[in-house]
Amino acid sequence: MDMAMAARLGPLGLPHAALLGSSAAASTRALPLAPSRAPRLPYPLPHFPTCRRPSSSSSAAAYAARPRPRRGSPRLLAVRAMASGNPYAAELAAAKKAVTLAARLCQAVQQDIVHSGIQSKADKSPVTVADYGSQILVSLVLKMEVSSGPFSLVAEEDSEELRKDGAEEILEEITDLVNETISDSGSYNISFMKEGILSAIDDGKSKGGPTGRHWVLDPIDGTKGFVRGDQYAIALALLDEGKVVLGVLACPNLPLSSISNPNGSSSGGQVGALFSATIGCGAEVESLDGSPPQKISVCSIDNPVNASFFESYESAHSMHDLTGSIAEKLGVLAPPVRIDSQAKYGALARGDGAIYLRFPHKGYKEKIWDHAAGSIVVTEAGGIVTDAAGNDLDFSKGRFLDLDTGIIATNKQCY
């Protein structure tokens, strides 16, 4: 290929016009519903006291003998981080702990939504409870586990609605659900009052930016999938000087085995995957129930004819006719695999498919929490994530990504 020709080509070896042109319909393969797991928490929960630090001497003895956090104190974690050669090891451990706890809360609420037959996002209350609850847990756990430096969190939710008249009941539900999840985990002997809950949400108001460290959180990514009982993710990343240096993706309904085989998820297999990656250290997956992490890498397919590609389940989020047309031009034969959330990035990173195409409708502005964790999981697994013009995604510009041309993630061979 001559240089002039190469310059005209975009990612996937296609001219930019082909990436941004239009349409051809494609048949689809939707990921089979993951088998549901028994809820760990009833929902809605009965109310219970919001502060239970022991006062009597006998309960003080019980308090002294309480189960301790398994991963050790922040100081110990920092020492381990230095010893392991991963400068973000303490942050990674905290991030995994935070999203695992949030995933438990979300699973309990999703079970309730599915069982109660709520199928529309219009009935917002349980979704709202889970969104806020997940953000609160992640915010609280990070603050308790990572003590170094100022705390900055760029997250989707704020407490404005919960501070309005009439929101008292839902705030109480959220408070109870958060406290119950913490108590049930056995990790901390602490509970929170409503004001602490509201301020944990508002910790997520940071604007991010090019300097310092910022956590980036989507407390429930793929809300529509969550309501349907399908895929969703709790996505948490860390920015350091404008770069994503760490990412974790809790995908409670994603099979642990590959979803490249349509029957793969029905092999009696476990669901609940936790992807993680730290810059320069590779990417891993483990079960949300705590199996040992295993290194993952993107697939080595070099001919799109043998590739399958991921895209949003929701056509409102990505133009299915355009992605179908791109796939056709590439020679992809398999129908698209449509799933919600950054579970797509996780599945791509472990080689379940070769390409993820995301082309929102004109005017949509992507938020950093929808891609930060997923993109580092893919790049650390050996893949590439760019916009349709081939530029790296820039997470240093605040709460939004500065692009309007779509996102492509794939392995180096297909790019």
Ligand X SMILES: Nc1ncnc2c1ncn2[C@@H]1O[C@H](COP(=O)(O)O)[C@@H](OP(=O)(O)O)[C@H]1O
Q: Which residues are catalytic?
A: 131, 223
Among 203, 221, 380, 387, binds ligand X (CB under 6 A): 221
Q: Is 91 in the site for Mg ion (CB under 5 A)?
A: no
- Please tell me the distance from the alpha carbon of residue 69 to that of residue 46, in angstroms, as a whole number: 26
Tell me the window of 76-84, 172-180, 221-229, 392-400 that interacts with ligand X (CB under 6 A): 221-229
- Binding to Mg ion by residue 173, rule CB under 5 A? no
Stretch that binds ligand X, among 34-42, 361-369, 373-381, 398-406 (CB under 6 A): 361-369
For Mg ion, the binding residue among 221, 286, 311, 380 (CB under 5 A) is 221
Partner from ligand X, Mg ion, none contacting 257, C-beta within 5 to 8 A by type: none
CB of 221 to ligand X, least distance (A): 4
Q: Could you say which of Mg ion, ligand X, none residue 364 binds, taking C-beta under 5 to 8 angstroms by partner kind?
A: ligand X
As a whole number of angstroms, the distance between CA 409 and CA 415 comes to: 8
Question: In this chain, which stretch among 172-180, 189-197, 293-301, 312-320 interacts with ligand X, using CB under 6 A?
Answer: 312-320
Least distance from C-beta 253 to Mg ion, angstroms?
15
- Find the binder of ligand X among 24, 30, 61, 316 (CB under 6 A): 316
Closest residue to Mg ion, based on beta-carbon distance: 221
| Nearest to ligand X of 16, 367 (CB atom) | 367
- SS3 for the chain is CCHHHHHHECHHHCEHHHHHCCCCCCCCEECCCCCCCCCCCCCCCCCCCCCCCCCCHHHHHHHHCCCCCCCCCHHHHHHHHHHHCCCCHHHHHHHHHHHHHHHHHHHHHHHHHHHHCCCCCCCCHHHHHHHHHHHHHHHHHHHHHCCCCCCCEEECCCCCHHHCCCCHHHHHHHHHHHHHHHHHHCCCCCCCCHHHHHHHHHCCECCCCCCCEEEEEEEEECHHHHHHCCCCEEEEEEEECCEEEEEEEEEEEEECCCCCCCCHHHCCCCEEEEEEEECCCEEEEEECCCCCCEEECCCCCCCHHHCCEEECCCCCCCCHHHHHHHHHHHCCCCCCEECCCCHHHHHHHCCCCCEEEECCCCCCCCEHHHCHHHHHHHHHCCEEEEECCCCECCCCCCCECCCCCCEEEEECCCC
Question: From the CB of 156, what's the least distance to Mg ion, in Å?
Answer: 7
Is 400 near ligand X (CB under 6 A)?
no
**Site for Mg ion (CB under 5 A): which residue of 157, 202, 218, 230?**
218
Using CB under 5 A, which of the segments 193-201, 212-220, 265-273, 306-314 binds Mg ion?
212-220
Q: Is 73 left (phi over 0), alpha (psi -120 to 50) or beta?
A: beta
| Smallest distance from Mg ion to CB 370, Å | 4
Query: Which of the listed partners (Mg ion, ligand X, none) does 400 bind, with a CB threshold of 5 to 8 Å by partner kind?
Result: none
Known binding residue 302? Answer is no
- Asked whether the beta carbons of 286 and 294 are under 8 A apart, the reply is yes
Residue 100 binds: one of ligand X, Mg ion, none (C-beta under 5 to 8 A by kind) = none
For position 317 contacting ligand X by CB under 6 A, the verdict is yes
Comparing CB distances to Mg ion, the nearer of 221 and 352 is 221
When binding is defined by CB under 6 A, the residue of 73, 168, 211, 364 that contacts ligand X is 364
370 binds Mg ion (CB under 5 A): yes
What is the binding site for Mg ion (CB under 5 A)?
218, 221, 370
What is the binding site for ligand X (CB under 6 A)?
218, 220-223, 312, 314, 316-317, 340-341, 360-361, 364, 367, 370
